[in-house]
Amino acid sequence: MKLLTQNIKSLIGCSLLVGLAGCNAVADKNTSASAPKLIPAQTGSFGDQGDGTYINPILNADYPDSDIEQVGDTYYMITSKQHMSPGMPILESKDMVNWTNTGHAFPKLSWAPEYNWDRMNGYSFGTWAGDIAYHEGKWYVYQIDYQHGLMVTMADDISGPWSEPIMMLPHAEVLDDPGVYFDHETKKAYVIINTGLKHKSPDNKIEGNENYIYEMSWDGTKILDEGKLVYTGMGAEAAKIYKIDGTWYITMAQWTMGDYSTKPGVKNPKNDRKQLILRSKESIYGPYEVKTILEKGKEFNNRSASQGGFMTAPDGSWWYMHQLIQNDDIPFQGRPQCLEPVTWVDGWPIIGFDEDNDGIGEPLKRYKKPINGYPITAPKSDDDFSSSKLGPQWEWNHNPRDSHWSLTERPGWLRLKASKVLPNNSNHGPKINEWTNNDGSDSDFWRAPNTLSQRMMGITTGTAVAKFDISGMKPNQLAGFVRYGGVFNLLGVEVDANGKKHLFYMDKMSNKTKGPEITGNDLYVRTSNARDQATYEYSFNGKNYKAFGPSFTIAFGKWTGDRLGFFSWNEQRDTDAGHIDVDWFTYDYDGPKAARIAFK
């Protein structure tokens, strides 16, 4: 990135029929297809408001570290997702506000054994902030695994298939956050990288991370030189390169530390992360002028705003997508995405609105949409598992044990087989370090393969419901519904050694509360949240629900917001016996959702 397209095709409106064609729901498997129930598109406390305006965050869920590539009249976004598999979600939009799933750039985290189901030792690592580029008819996604180095994967089509990653630089030389640029005027390609302190000499007295620019081969797969230092700053990272009217610009996120008792990235309202921009009219290597162009404002309490990418609309207006980060008490949903207008003043961009007249922009809460005429959409959530391919909203906790899940053994259902819990030692499960919390990190849950989940949406209210068939469960198996991010909370079924089934709730420290015996095959689980307080309910008929377990607090952790999904493991160390089948999953939340056909 980034050659911004100026001659974007004019946009046209979409009919409801077109909107429905892109939705994820299908007719009820047990209902006549001749009379499907249509659920109209909805609005809520964030995103498209249906009146030509939007409310930030437009993606109020765990979609961190965005990068944008604009091709014609479509905008493509990647976001990081650490140890989740598949990795590096890809979304697309026609209007910058309504985003839908496209896929993932890494079908598996295939480059290191710690991401496999038999290790689950890669928490918080895996795919970090990356860069997406479209170059000479081919798609590229770059990212740096903190423990392994700079890599690139490629595809002829944005939906894949994506190539096996090519390693370009070892982790001994780079830290994180690559940003690439293909200069079609000179036929040279570049990547800027936060190298941290890895090359820092005693002569560089500036505190913080060094950022180097490396020249790449024109095919974007090889590094050609040793790199040149262009900027040093406290926590400086997430750089993106732009060339606009012959002037070089580099955006950069940087910490302003008000409290040195915590490290960058650790929650502390005194520590602010701002967006900088570097400008040079001479060379990509500088010298550069530096200006702060975005900082936190009154709209989002103490949440810092930075790290993202520029876009242009057909009318020539400029826009910026960025994340809110985790330095306050709110982000139990993760790191969401905001959209801001950009105003150019004397060759410098101001992002958002300069609310205090200091020449630096702050995020807006509500604004007019960049482009009108497209229907309300959102990333997929509901699923009846009628497809033979897993929906793009779902991700596994580490690479799954593919022999232990299926969408075809019982068509129309997701089957999750039990798997043995991995050993509790330093080679398996979470490591206790600066990237994780240690509350309950030695629990079986964190070492149980085949946990499948999707993101929660928003921070106000939400309710998810799933229907399970528990007839295939075996002695010593535990299976059911999980909410987890920094902590986990489970509601499910435990089978004792004699084959009796009981409802159970488990908290983040693995404390288990035993519930009533279950004699039937059907179990419905419902979980609701009001802000960060959540509850579980259960039913045997899908109509009458009873609360079970306490109200619990959902939390951000391991660089992950709260998630909704399913688990299945067997406590007996020498067996994988048992399975649970999921019929359907629905999720209603206080935010935008596309028009859809109900399946239950």
Residue 9 inside a domain? The answer is no
Residue 37 inside a domain? The answer is no
Same domain as 429, residue 364: no
Per-residue pLDDT, 285:
98
Query: Comparing C-alpha atoms, which of 395, 573, 422 is closest to residue 118?
Result: 422
Same domain as 279, residue 202: yes
Query: Comparing C-alpha atoms, which of 392, 492, 407, 408 is closest to residue 448?
Result: 492
For residues 264 and 238, give the distance between their C-alpha atoms in angstroms, rounded to a whole number. Answer: 14
Whether the ω angle into residue 375 lies within 30 degrees of 0, i.e. cis, is no
Query: Comparing C-alpha atoms, which of 71, 83, 148 is closest to residue 117?
Result: 83
Residue 384 inside a domain? The answer is no
Same domain as 353, residue 247: yes
Same domain as 425, residue 355: no
Integer CA distances (angstroms), 53 to 56, 58, 365, 581, in order: 10, 11, 10, 41
Render pLDDT for 518-570 as a digit per residue (tens, 0 to 9): 999 999 999 999 999 999 999 999 999 999 999 999 998 888 999 999 999 99
Per-residue pLDDT, 264:
65
For residues 414 and 392, give the distance between their C-alpha atoms in angstroms, rounded to a whole number. Answer: 14
For residues 178 and 192, give the distance between their C-alpha atoms in angstroms, rounded to a whole number. Answer: 6
Same domain as 428, residue 316: no
Query: Comparing C-alpha atoms, which of 453, 483, 504 is closest to residue 562?
Result: 483
**pLDDT < 70 stretches in the chain:** 1-35, 264-265, 432-439
Q: Which of 349, 368, 387 is the last residue of a domain?
A: 368
Q: What is the 3-state secondary structure (H, E, C) of 191-258?
A: EEEEEECCCCCCCCCCCCEEEEEEEECCCCCCECCCCEEEEEECCCEEEEEEEECCEEEEEEEEEECC
For residues 510 and 328, give the distance between their C-alpha atoms in angstroms, rounded to a whole number. Answer: 27
SS3 17: helix
Please give the full DSSP string across 515-557, using - where no structure is assigned: EEEE-SSEEEEEEEEETTEEEEEEESSSS--EE-S--EE---B
Torsion of the alpha carbons at 454, 458, 461 and 462, rounded to the nearest 10: -20
Per-residue pLDDT, 269:
79
Q: Which of 323, 350, 368 is the last residue of a domain?
A: 368
Phi-psi region of 221 (alpha: psi -120 to 50; beta: other; left: phi over 0): alpha
Q: Which residue has the tokens 């393969």?
A: 449
Same domain as 312, residue 431: no
Integer CA distances (angstroms), 208 to 237, 263, 266, in order: 10, 12, 16
CA 60 to chain centre: 11
Query: Comparing C-alpha atoms, which of 391, 534, 504, 402 is closest to residue 444?
Result: 504
- What is the span of the domain harbouring residue 201? 16-24+44-368
Same domain as 471, residue 546: yes
Q: Which helix (H) or strand (E) holds 89?
A: strand 87-93
Is beta strand 452-455 parallel, antiparallel or unpaired with respect to 414-417? unpaired
Integer CA distances (angstroms), 539 to 463, 519, 520, 522, 567, in order: 15, 13, 11, 9, 18
Residue 468 inside a domain? The answer is yes
Based on the number of CB atoms within 10 Å of its own CB, is 147 exposed (0-12), middle (13-18) or buried (19 or more)? exposed
Residue 383 inside a domain? The answer is no
Contact yes or no for 554/332 (Cβ under 8 A): yes
Please give the full DSSP string across 432-485, using - where no structure is assigned: -STTS--TTTTSGGGG-S--EEEE---SSEEEEEEEEE-TT--TTEEEEEEEES
Residue 491 inside a domain? The answer is yes
| Tokens encoding 576 | 């994988």
Query: Comparing C-alpha atoms, which of 600, 104, 21 is closest to residue 390?
Result: 104
Contact yes or no for 213/206 (Cβ under 8 A): no
Residue 4 inside a domain? The answer is no
For residues 360 and 349, give the distance between their C-alpha atoms in angstroms, rounded to a whole number. Answer: 9
Provide the β-strand partners of residue 512. Answer: 506
Same domain as 229, residue 108: yes
Same domain as 410, residue 363: no
Contact yes or no for 566/580 (Cβ under 8 A): yes
Same domain as 60, residue 183: yes
Work out how many domains the chain is built from and give that number. Answer: 2
Same domain as 433, residue 288: no
Q: Which helix (H) or strand (E) holds 495?
A: strand 488-495
Per-residue pLDDT, 546:
98
Residue 244 inside a domain? The answer is yes
CA 548 to chain centre: 30
Same domain as 573, residue 452: yes
Query: Comparing C-alpha atoms, which of 311, 412, 416 is closest to residue 74?
Result: 311
| Tokens encoding 377 | 């959409």
For residues 101 and 97, give the distance between their C-alpha atoms in angstroms, rounded to a whole number. Answer: 13
Residues with Cβ within 8 Å of 426's Cβ and at least 6 positions away in sequence, in order, are none
Torsion of the alpha carbons at 341, 343, 344 and 350, rounded to the nearest 10: -80
CATH assignment at residue 482: 2.60.120.200
| Length of the chain as a residue count | 600
CATH assignment at residue 275: 2.115.10.20
Residues of the chain with pLDDT > 70, as a percent, come to 92
Q: What does pTM read for this prediction?
A: 0.93
